[in-house]
Structure formats: C-alpha cells, structure tokens
A and B are shown apart, each in its own frame.
Chain A
Amino acid sequence: MSDWLLPLADFQFLRRALAGSMILAVSMAPLGTMLILRRMSLVGDAMAHAVLPGAVAGFLLAGFSIWAMALGGFIAAITVAMLATLIARRTREYEDSSFAALYLIALAIGVIGVSASGGRVDLAHLLFGSVLAVDGDGLALAAGVATITWLGLAVIHRALVLSTLQPGFFAETRIGTVAHATFAALVVLNLVAAFQILGTLMAVGLLVLPSAAARHWATRLESLIAITTLIGICAAVSGLLLSFHADLPSGPAIVTCAGAIYLVSVIAGTRRHPERST
C-alpha cells in the first residue's frame, strides 16, 4: 500500500495533479448533484465537448497558456449552450437534439483545428487529460473556480432548488431563469477547469458519476452532496495513482475509478426503490 502511495512523495507534478483533482471533486459535487436533479446530465456532457474548439483556438492564438485555453473553452461552451437553448426555445426542435447537434459541430471544428495546427496540439492530451500538464496556474484556476462555484451556489441555492422542484415557481419574475443561467455558467467553468487533468471528453465524468453513485446511498440534498464529495475525492486519488502506475491517461483512469464506485453503488446501494414519479 505504501509503495503505491510513495510516488506522491517523490513527484511534485503528481501532488499538484492530486490537489487539482481533489479540488475539482469538491467543486463538482454540489453541481453534479443539482445537474442530475435537473435532468441535465447529458446537457453537461454536450457542454464538455464544446470546450474543445475553444481550447484549441486559445492554444493556436496564445500558445500553451492555461488561461488562454480556459478562456477559449469557456467562450465556446457558453456559446454552444446559449445557441442550443435559443434554438430549442425559438424553433420546434427539442433541447436535447439542439444540444447534440451543436456539440457535434463544436467537436468537429475542434478536431479540425487540432489537425490544422500541424501536430502542435496533442489531441490525446486535450481529450483525455494529462497529469503532467498541471502547473501552478492550472492549480490556481481549479481553486479559483471551486471558490466561485461554492459561493455562486450558495447565492442561487434556494432559487435553483425551488425552480427545479417546480419550473414555474417564481411566476412572472426572472429569478428561475437567472438561477438556471448562473448554474449553467458554473458547470462550464468547472468543465474548463477540469479539462487539463481529465480532458474535455472525460471532464463530465467527475461531474456526473459520483453524484449518480450517491443517489444509491442517500436521498436528502445535504447527504447527497456530502457522499458525492467523498466518492469524487476517492475516485480522484485512486484514479491518479492508477494513471501513474499503469501509465494511463489520467482522465480515463479517474473516470474508470468513479465508474467502479458507481457500479458497486448500483448493485449494493441502500436506496433501492424508485421515488414516486408523479
């Protein structure tokens, strides 16, 4: 066991990646819990894919700067989310198909951008993450995003919960819309902060899997968030060690660990019965 943990003491990059992924797990826990309650898991997935072209554009314009890539990714994902929502509201298209359509377009543009860069961008690192990539700036980004996330959620918490429970709760006011938009922006911020370690393809894994697993152990919101945080941190630590020892990309390694916890939860979880659906 201690042999397994030893590399953490030896390698600074691994400690940084560990700190970064644990920060992300803490930041993503309450978001993921609300994402699932709002039935937006797949929308989160779509927004994660939409980060890619923005991150590539940031790289092509400013080189390997985490801030440029994060800003690009944020703009791209927010644009996709707003366009998809607009199309669903203004036309006869459903929101899930408009999101699917736009994230596919974004993903394709992103991959074309990588090809056009003539090998300067490592697609595998962008899609699947890399423990080596986390520097001090990356850590600062994750910590900043986590802080904004918890503060932001504290502000919109009640509005978000009540408008999730009952979409028309806030009647003619814009409170529900503002809460929803803020929530979506926080999700995108987290996906952007996560793409270094997890990759754009895997970033949503730490958002969705721990909270999906937690639902098999708890019902109340506070317990759901607490258990989600715990599962996220476990997945992050074990995933990074797995990534190091088995020489795997860090994103899939962390997501595999989260997935294992999820499957165990489905089989052994204590909350077995579906809630009333009316």
Chain B
Amino acid sequence: MNSAADRVTAGGVALTGLCVRRGDVEAVRDVTGVFAAGSLTAVIGPNGAGKSSLLEAIAGRLSPSGGTLECTVPASDIAYLAQVSHLDLRVPVTVFDFVAAGAWRRTGIFAGVDARLARQTHAALRATDLLDCAGRLLAQLSSGQLQRARFAQLLVHDPQLILLDEPFTSMDEATTSHLVALVAAWHREQRTIIVVLHDRDLARELCPTTLVLDRKLIAWGPTEQALAAHRWRHVA
C-alpha cells in the first residue's frame, strides 16, 4: 500500500516518498504517486516549486535524496527536453544534423547518416514544418523554429517516456498550437508524457492528468479536480 512501485506497469513511473535536493535546497519533498504508462500529465506550480527538479530526477540527471523512484523505461527510451537556454548556439550545427542527432541512442555516435535516418530526419522536419530550414544553422532560427527543431529531434529519437520542461513558454500562438498537436499525437501513440506547464487553460485542454507541486505534492489526479484542489488551498 505504501509503495507506489506496486501499481506501475511497463512504460510508467512510480514515485514513493520521493525527495530531490538541488545543491543545498530540498526542491522536491515526499512526493508519492504514479505516472501511468501512456498517460499525459501536466506538472503545475509556482516558480521554484521543484517542477524542473522532478523532471530531472525522472530523467536520471538528479539522484533522489530520499524515497524511491521506479522508472520502468530504460534510459535510452527517455527523452528530456530542458529549457532552451541550455543550448550554446555559437556552435555551428545545421538544423538537419541537430535533428538527425536525435537517433544517437540507436546508431551510436560514430555512424553516419544512412538513407533510413535521412528519411526519418526529413519526415521529422516535415512534421515540424522545418524542411526549408534543413541547411541553416541553429543560430539562424527564430526561437519558435528552434523549439520546433528540438521537437523534431524528439521525433527522430522516438522515445517511450517524454519529459518536457515548459516547452511552450514564450512561443507565439501558431508555434504553440503546432507543438501542442505534436504532443497530442504522441499521447495517441500511447507514449508516457510529463510536461511542465504554466498555463492552466492549456493543461485543461491538453492533459487528462495534472500534478500540482509546491515542493510538496498539492494535488495529483484528473486535471479539473487537481486544479480545483489547488485553487481551494490558495483561498484557504
């Protein structure tokens, strides 16, 4: 009963009393629950609420400082999309090479781009409306195009568990709806998706499940109920 790990099936992630420290700060405190296989969950909470730390812990980039994290998906099948600022755009890499690099788990880092990977890369570029930009450098893209290129890299990666950290922040409406459609398509393909959002309306529109986090777990369940519980707490 205490362990969430008993309730998780392949493709899901179970947290039992999970704590995550970032430096001297305990960013996530005692979170228990399950991201079911094939679920699409919004993570919502104020700045500094530990949303990114939670994602990084699931991605295996931060170790839990307490509790357990049971991830049934192998590391090679997890995609983690950090915030844009992690890219150093001074490095001259073309959009095509960047997107094709999403396949490194399958191909290794030495293999060249064969016909199959080239086809996959072109398909990903087409799906993100970037075919015209294939030969451009990343630094020459608008921020919306860059975000689409990162999604295209995910398409080439083809992962089972997808972790997105504020993927729509500061994107215009057209880009947002384009990317939201991609996430919805991944959800239809039964992938497990966890997405940090700031926009409650978007969470309602896109995500059946929502986790409200403020270092501690505030609510975790069907989006409407979770958000309602959150609002009630603030009034109280």
Name B88's closest neighbour in chain A (CB-CB).
A165
Residues of A bordering B, CB below 8 Å:
37, 155, 158-159, 161-162, 164-172, 175, 219-221, 224, 275-278
Which listed residue, B90, B110, B138, touches A158 by the CB 8 Å rule? B110
Contact of A168 with B61 at beta-carbon distance under 8 Å, contacts A158-B110, A219-B137 already known:
yes
B88 near A172 with CB under 8 A, answer no
Name the interface residues of B56-101: CB closer than 8 Å to any CB of A. 59-61, 75, 78, 80, 82, 84-93, 98, 101
Residues of B bordering A, CB below 8 Å:
59-61, 75, 78, 80, 82, 84-93, 98, 101, 104, 109-110, 137-139, 143
A224 near B82 with CB under 8 A, answer no
Q: How far is the CB of A153 from chain B (nearest CB, A)?
A: 13
B110 near A166 with CB under 8 A, answer no
Q: How far is the CB of A106 from chain B (nearest CB, A)?
A: 29
A155 near B110 with CB under 8 A, answer yes
Contact of A276 with B89 at beta-carbon distance under 8 Å, contacts A168-B82, A171-B60, A171-B61 already known:
yes
Separation of A221 and B80 alpha carbons in the complex (Å): 27
Separation of A147 and B92 alpha carbons in the complex (Å): 25
List, in ascending order, chain A residues with CB within 8 A of B109's CB: 158-159, 162, 175
Other contacts beyond A165-B87, A221-B92: 20, CB < 8 A: A158-B101, A162-B104, A162-B109, A164-B91, A165-B93, A165-B138, A166-B86, A167-B86, A168-B82, A168-B86, A169-B101, A171-B59, A171-B60, A171-B61, A171-B75, A172-B61, A219-B137, A219-B139, A224-B92, A275-B90
A275 near B93 with CB under 8 A, answer no
Q: How far is the CB of B39 from chain A (nearest CB, A)?
A: 22
Q: How far is the CB of B43 from chain A (nearest CB, A)?
A: 19
Name B98's closest neighbour in chain A (CB-CB).
A165
Secondary structure at chain A's binding surface: helix, strand, loop or mixed?
loop
Name B75's closest neighbour in chain A (CB-CB).
A172
Separation of A159 and B93 alpha carbons in the complex (Å): 12
Which listed residue, A162, A164, A219, A278, touches B101 by the CB 8 Å rule? A162
Separation of A165 and B82 alpha carbons in the complex (Å): 13
Separation of A168 and B80 alpha carbons in the complex (Å): 10
List, in ascending order, chain B residues with CB within 8 A of A169's CB: 101
B88 near A164 with CB under 8 A, answer yes
Separation of A275 and B88 alpha carbons in the complex (Å): 11
Q: How far is the CB of B130 from chain A (nearest CB, A)?
A: 17
Closest 3 CB pairs of A and B: A165-B91, A275-B139, A172-B60
Name A215's closest neighbour in chain B (CB-CB).
B90
Q: How far is the CB of B134 from chain A (nearest CB, A)?
A: 14
List, in ascending order, chain A residues with CB within 8 A of B84's CB: 278
Q: How far is the CB of A56 from chain B (nearest CB, A)?
A: 37
Name A159's closest neighbour in chain B (CB-CB).
B109
Separation of A166 and B109 alpha carbons in the complex (Å): 15
Separation of A219 and B89 alpha carbons in the complex (Å): 11
List, in ascending order, chain A residues with CB within 8 A of B82's CB: 168
Name B146's closest neighbour in chain A (CB-CB).
A278
8 A-B contacts (beta carbon < 8 Å): A155-B110, A158-B101, A158-B110, A162-B93, A165-B91, A165-B93, A171-B80, A278-B143
List, in ascending order, chain B residues with CB within 8 A of A276's CB: 89, 139
List, in ascending order, chain A residues with CB within 8 A of B60's CB: 171-172
Name B59's closest neighbour in chain A (CB-CB).
A171
Contact of A161 with B91 at beta-carbon distance under 8 Å, contacts A276-B139, A278-B85 already known:
yes
List, in ascending order, chain B residues with CB within 8 A of A159's CB: 109
Separation of A220 and B110 alpha carbons in the complex (Å): 21
List, in ascending order, chain A residues with CB within 8 A of B138's CB: 165
Q: How far is the CB of B109 from chain A (nearest CB, A)?
A: 5
B59 near A275 with CB under 8 A, answer no
Name B141's closest neighbour in chain A (CB-CB).
A276
Separation of A175 and B107 alpha carbons in the complex (Å): 14
List, in ascending order, chain A residues with CB within 8 A of B88's CB: 37, 164-167
Q: How far is the CB of B56 from chain A (nearest CB, A)?
A: 9
Separation of A167 and B88 alpha carbons in the complex (Å): 9
A278 near B80 with CB under 8 A, answer no
Separation of A169 and B88 alpha carbons in the complex (Å): 12
List, in ascending order, chain B residues with CB within 8 A of A162's CB: 93, 101, 104, 109
Separation of A161 and B91 alpha carbons in the complex (Å): 7
Q: How far is the CB of A47 from chain B (nearest CB, A)?
A: 21
Separation of A175 and B61 alpha carbons in the complex (Å): 14
Which listed residue, B86, B91, B101, touches A37 by the CB 8 Å rule? B91
Separation of A152 and B91 alpha carbons in the complex (Å): 20
Separation of A108 and B86 alpha carbons in the complex (Å): 38
Instruction: Pick from B82, B91, B104, B139 the residue with the most CB of A within 10 Å.
Output: B91
Contact of A220 with B89 at beta-carbon distance under 8 Å, contacts A168-B61, A175-B109 already known:
no
Q: How far is the CB of B203 from chain A (nearest CB, A)?
A: 26
Q: How far is the CB of B46 from chain A (nearest CB, A)?
A: 24
